[in-house]
């Protein structure tokens, strides 16, 4: 009971933090649209986070520990559930019919430049 009483302020504030995060998602979405950038990438970002979270949880061999951690993450997280965020962003994106700037070529060039830089730095160290 003492633990619940001590944790009460944290649990009460979680609702506010989740609301702020949802508002931040909406604002980020609106900013991307205003900049002519396809906001679908925001949902894709959260999908990648969810995959990484699943991979990390899968590394926990003890099923009981994994279950406790999964349950704890949902209760203690200050962020809305990742799937909820994805659903909200996808729903908003589905309602938009616009042509956005295509960054695929520039992004590919940036990836190549970063890869070359990393290789050069690794070679310089040895």
Task: Return the pLDDT at 45.
Answer: 92
Residue located via tokens 């604002």: 27
Residue located via tokens 């799937």: 83
**Two tokens, residue 94:** 């589905």
Domain ranges of the chain: 2-100
Complete DSSP assignment for 2-19? HHHHHHHHHHHHHHHHHH
Each residue's pLDDT tens digit in the chain (126 positions)?
Answer: 454 445 555 545 555 577 888 899 999 999 999 999 999 999 999 999 888 888 888 888 777 776 767 666 655 454 457 888 899 999 999 989 889 999 999 999 999 999 999 999 999 887
Residue 84 · residue 41 · CB < 8 Å: no
**Two tokens, residue 60:** 């926990």
Residue located via tokens 């209760």: 75
């Amino acid at each position: 009971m003492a633990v619940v009483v001590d944790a009460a302020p944290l649990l009460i504030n979680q609702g506010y933090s989740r609301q702020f995060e949802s508002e931040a998602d909406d604002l980020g979405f609106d900013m991307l649209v205003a900049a002519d950038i396809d906001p679908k990438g925001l949902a894709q970002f959260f999908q990648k986070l969810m995959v990484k979270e699943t991979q990390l949880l899968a590394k926990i061999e003890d099923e009981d520990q994994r279950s406790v951690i999964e349950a704890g993450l949902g209760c203690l997280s200050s962020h809305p559930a990742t799937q909820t965020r994805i659903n909200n962003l996808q729903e908003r994106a589905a309602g938009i019919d616009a042509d956005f700037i295509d960054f695929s070529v520039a992004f590919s060039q940036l990836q190549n430049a970063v890869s070359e830089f990393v290789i050069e730095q690794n070679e310089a160290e040895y």
